[in-house]
Structure 1
Amino acid sequence: MQIKTDDALESARVRSIWTMFGGNAMVSIAYIAGITVASLIARDLTGEDTFAGFPGSIGTLGAALGATVLTRLSKSRGRRMTFIGGYLVAAAGGVIAAFSIIIQSLVTLMAGFLLVGFGRSVSQLARFAAADMRSEERRGRAISTIVWAGTIGAVVGPRLISPAGEFAVSRGQEALLGPMVLMAAGLVLAALGFWIWLRPDPMSLAIDTSDQPVVEKTKLSLLLRHDTVWLGLTGLVVSQFVMVFIMTMTPIHLDGNGYDLNDVGWVMTAHTAGMFAFAPLTGWLVDRMGSRWVLAAGSLMLIGASFMAARALNAELPVLLPGLFLLGLGWNFGYVSSSTVLQSGLELQDRLGLQGLADSSTWISGGLGALLSGVIVHTTSFATLSLAGAALALIPLAALLMLIRRRERAAV
Structure 2
Amino acid sequence: MQQLLFCHIPITTMFKQLHANVWLLTLAQVFIAATGSMVVFVGSFVGMALSPNPAFATFPVAFMIGGVATFALPVVRVFEKIGRQKGFILAISFGALNSLFVMVTIYLDSFWLFCVGILLYGIPLVASGQFRFAAMESVSEDKAGQAVSTLLMAGLGAAFIGPEIGFWGKELLAAEYAGAFLLLSVCYVVALLPLLKFRPFSHHQKQVELPVRPLLQIIKQPLFMASLSAAAVGFAVMSFIMTATPISMHVHHAFSVQDTKWVIQSHVIAMYLPSLFTGLLIRRYGAVKLLLAGIFTYTVCIGIGLVDQAYIHYWGALVLLGIGWNFMFITATSILPKSYNESEKFRVQGVNDFAIYTSQGIASLSAGWVINSAGWQTLLWVNVPFLLAVCLFIAYWQFSERRVIYQKNA
Give the equivalent residue in structure 1 for 2:175: 174
Partner of 1:210: helix, strand, or coil? coil
Instruction: Note the alpha carbon deviations across 1:196-244, whole angstroms, 9 max, x for none.
Output: x22x3x1x4453352218x8x6531221121111110111110011000
Q: 1:388 is matched with which residue: 382, 385, 395? A: 382
Determine the C-alpha separation between the residues in 1 that align with 2:113 and 2:134: 33
- Matched-pair contact (CA < 8 Å) for 1:31–1:183: no
Amino acid at match of 2:92: Y
Partner of 2:142: helix, strand, or coil? helix
Give the equivalent residue in structure 2 for 1:187: 188
Task: Trace 1:181-330 onto structure 2 (pairs within 5 A).
Answer: 181-195=182-196, 197-198=197-198, 200=199, 202=200, 204-212=201-209, 219-256=214-251, 257-313=253-309, 316-330=310-324
Q: May I ask how many residue pairs the two structures share in their alignment? A: 391
Instruction: Note the alpha carbon deviations across 1:76-127, whole angstroms, 9 max, x for none.
Output: 2110110111112222322222222111111111110111122111221100
Task: Trace 1:371-410 onto structure 2 (pairs within 5 A).
Answer: 371-410=365-404
Partner of 1:167: helix, strand, or coil? coil
Amino acid at match of 2:394: L
Determine the C-alpha separation between the residues in 1 that align with 2:194 and 2:45: 30
Give the equivalent residue in structure 2 for 1:18: 23
Give the equivalent residue in structure 2 for 1:6: none
Is 1:353 matched up with 2:347? yes
Task: Trace 1:125-136 onto structure 2 (pairs within 5 A).
Answer: 125-136=130-141
Shifted more, 26-35 versus 294-303: the winner is 26-35
- Matched-pair contact (CA < 8 Å) for 1:302–1:327: yes
Determine the C-alpha separation between the residues in 1 that align with 2:346 and 2:287: 19
Determine the C-alpha separation between the residues in 1 that align with 2:368 and 2:39: 22
TM-score, length-normalised on structure 1?
0.89
Quote how far apart the aligned CAs of 1:328 are: 0.9
Quote how far apart the aligned CAs of 1:382 are: 1.4
- Matched-pair contact (CA < 8 Å) for 1:89–1:115: no
- Matched-pair contact (CA < 8 Å) for 2:274–2:323: yes
Give the equivalent residue in structure 2 for 1:73: 78
Quote how far apart the aligned CAs of 1:276 are: 0.8
Amino acid at match of 2:242: M
Quote how far apart the aligned CAs of 1:270 are: 0.8
Quote how far apart the aligned CAs of 1:13 are: 7.2
Give the equivalent residue in structure 2 for 1:89: 94
Amino acid at match of 2:45: L
Quote how far apart the aligned CAs of 1:385 are: 0.3
Quote how far apart the aligned CAs of 1:261 are: 1.7
Identity across the alignment (%)? 23
Amino acid at match of 1:95: L
Determine the C-alpha separation between the residues in 2 that align with 1:224 and 1:132: 21
Shifted more, 15-24 versus 183-192: the winner is 183-192
Partner of 2:304: helix, strand, or coil? helix
Task: Trace 1:22-41 onto structure 2 (pairs within 5 A).
Answer: 22-41=27-46
Instruction: Note the alpha carbon deviations across 1:255-276, whole angstroms, 9 max, x for none.
Output: 1211222111100111101111
Give the equivalent residue in structure 2 for 1:119: 124
Quote how far apart the aligned CAs of 1:399 are: 1.3
Is 1:101 matched up with 2:96? no
Determine the C-alpha separation between the residues in 2 that align with 1:369 and 1:135: 34
Q: Check 1:211–1:402 CA distance in 2 against 1; reply closer, same or farther (3 A cut).
A: closer
- Matched-pair contact (CA < 8 Å) for 1:270–1:322: no
Quote how far apart the aligned CAs of 1:345 are: 5.7
- Matched-pair contact (CA < 8 Å) for 1:302–1:390: no
Instruction: Note the alpha carbon deviations across 1:29-66, whole angstroms, 9 max, x for none.
Output: 34422331011111111264422321122112221233
Partner of 1:344: helix, strand, or coil? helix
Quote how far apart the aligned CAs of 1:371 are: 1.4
Determine the C-alpha separation between the residues in 2 that align with 1:84 and 1:35: 25
- Matched-pair contact (CA < 8 Å) for 2:218–2:340: no
Determine the C-alpha separation between the residues in 2 that align with 1:193 and 1:139: 21
Q: Check 1:404–1:18 CA distance in 2 against 1; reply closer, same or farther (3 A cut).
A: same
Shifted more, 71-80 versus 363-372: the winner is 71-80
Determine the C-alpha separation between the residues in 2 that align with 1:243 and 1:145: 20
Q: Runs of 5+ in structure 2 lacking a partner?
A: 1-15
